[in-house]
Amino acid sequence: MYLPLIACCLFWIQIRVVRSGTGGIECEGPIEVPNTYRVLNSTGEDNGTLTVGAMWYYQCVERHTPVLGDAYRKCLPSGEWDGEDLDCEANSCPALSRPDNGAVMYLSLDIGSTATYICFEGYMVSFGDTSRTCQTNGQWSGLEPTCETIKCPQPEPVDHSFMVVGSNEYNTYVTYTCYPYYYAIKGNLDRRCTVAAVWDGSLPFCAEIICPTPLPKNRAIPRFTGLKFKDTVSYECEVGTSLSSGNQTRTCNDQAVWSGEDPVCDDIRCPIEPPDVQNATATTDSEGFGALATYSCNKGHVNAGGNFVSVCQDDGTWSDITLNCTPVYCGKAPWYVGAKSNVTGEMFGDTAVFDCYIYPDDNIIYWIKFCDRDGNWVGNDPECTAGWYKKRFEPEPVEAEGSVWIGIVVLGIFITIILAIIVVDIATLGHHFAYLKRNLRDFRKTAKKQVRIILAQPRLVKFSRRFKHKKIENHKLTSISSISKRENSVDSNQIPDVHVTD
């Protein structure tokens, strides 16, 4: 296979040496010259003669070039061939064939060039050489490779696990599954057969699932009965704290880790402002767990029942407060003879003002009583007596709410009517004014007549005797006398006569 042409072209020449005799002198033969082949003699025949004077012609085989020696050789009388053996060197190598499930790559077939073999994906070289060089003898170095399917060794079993494998060829998987209540603490549960014919990763190790022992942390106290798979741990916050983040209950999972996050307990804080209570004010000592909010009724109110303390509870809320603060009620203000009262109300803080006229200067004297927080009217009692007051007080007129506006509206209506009358009948209005003027003149005349009759009567004033105090009587007499003097000073002659005309 490797030297087919060389083998075909080599000639073995049997040489007989005849030193003397009737046959003549012959040269030794046949002559073996590597990488050459013999050409027919000059006559075109290969008679195989070795006698003196015989001529042999050699040529290099294919892909070889002569570098030394002689192509023509002649049998000398001495029985030797003249010249030197032809030396043929190779100038290239034969083309290479592609292996099954692979390929070969080279740039040329020249001496010194390199050929590289590769196998397709899923195959690998199992025999021969992946790299071959064209040698000076015209042959490729090494052996032609073969490509076979990549196969990994049979996977190893793992304790406390199931193993599932389809095959051990390239790109297939072996899968391990740990028994229930076991988990892989190292290695790989899935391994793949790689191009290097080995399983990737490492063998897993299945261990029993046991979670770490929970410890008190972040003011949370753990409570648990086991540490194995699916066991649970519950946390309780320290007194005065509550869960602010994390999980209050956690479960040991299949990775031997407690589910969720570590709980964090922070101080319980109630709202800064405790619950509002109507007519009451609260004071607090803090907002933490157990803090107290103490309530007191506002001024003018009393506790009608219920608790007056609220406590900050463990859920961060203030306890219910049932305090009932009701207004202080004094009832109706007292009544005193001879005094007029002005009362603002009957509740705490309201006032009752009493006043009466007292001799000698008729000044108004005031007394004030207050409705105190105990529900009593307190203050000095008025000293008006029945014999001292000048007159009984009459109710003062009270202007009805909105009366001003009512008056304005009525006035507007009246003016509108007058204007309408004027517009409708100015002449009629003139007659009315004339009639009114006439009536006024008649009224003046009648009034003068009546005054003259009154002044003609005796000037005697009788006084009431029910007031026993002398100074009061003298004072009143003086006032009435002055009035009489003014009346007498009017001369009856100065009053014109009243003439009444029909």
DSSP assignment of 317-382: -BPP----EEE-B--SPP--TT-EEEE--SBTT-EEEEEEE-TTT-PEEEEEEEE-TTS-EESPPP
- Beta sheet of 364-371, edge-to-edge order: 340-343, 351-357, 364-371, 377-378
Query: What tokens appear for 345 in the block?
Result: 């109300």
Which neighbouring-strand residues pair with 104?
Answer: 117
440: which residues sit within 8 A by CB, 6+ positions away? Answer: none
CA distance 152 to 329: 103
- Whether the pLDDT of residue 177 is over 90: the answer is yes
Average pLDDT over residues 424-441: 68
pLDDT digit string, tens, across residues 150-166:
999 999 999 999 999 98
Domains contained in the chain, CATH given: 1-90 (2.10.70.10), 102-149 (2.10.70.10), 161-208 (2.10.70.10), 220-267 (2.10.70.10), 280-327 (2.10.70), 425-493 (no CATH)
- Residue 86 or residue 3, greater confidence: 86
Which neighbouring-strand residues pair with 310?
Answer: 293
The confidence band for 131, taking pLDDT boundaries of 50, 70 and 90, is very high
CA distance 65 to 484: 183
pLDDT digit string, tens, across residues 182-214:
999 899 999 999 999 999 999 999 999 999 999
Among 39-48, 255-264, 390-399, which stretch is predicted with the lowest mean pLDDT?
390-399
Given this model, what pLDDT does residue 178 score? 94
Is the pTM here over 0.75, yes or no?
no
Given this model, what pLDDT does residue 471 score? 34
- Whether the pLDDT of residue 116 is over 80: the answer is yes
- Whether the pLDDT of residue 171 is over 90: the answer is yes
CA distance 484 to 449: 20
Average pLDDT over residues 262-266: 94
Q: How open is the CA angle 354-355-359, to the nearest 5 degrees?
A: 150
Given this model, what pLDDT does residue 99 score? 92
- Residue 236 or residue 485, greater confidence: 236
Average pLDDT over residues 425-442: 69
Among 94-103, 306-315, 472-481, which stretch is predicted with the lowest mean pLDDT?
472-481
Would you say how long the chain is, in residues? 502
The mean pLDDT value of the chain amounts to: 76
Given this model, what pLDDT does residue 46 score? 52
Given this model, what pLDDT does residue 475 score? 34
Average pLDDT over residues 322-331: 88
428: which residues sit within 8 A by CB, 6+ positions away? Answer: 421
Return the percentage of the chain with pLDDT > 90, whole number. Answer: 31
Given this model, what pLDDT does residue 498 score? 29
pLDDT digit string, tens, across residues 335-387:
877 778 888 888 888 898 888 755 545 556 678 888 988 888 998 877 765 44
DSSP code at position 493: G
CA distance 191 to 110: 46
Classify residue 329 as left (phi > 0), alpha (psi -120 to 50) or beta. Answer: beta
Given this model, what pLDDT does residue 142 score? 92
CB atoms within 10 A of CB 466: 6
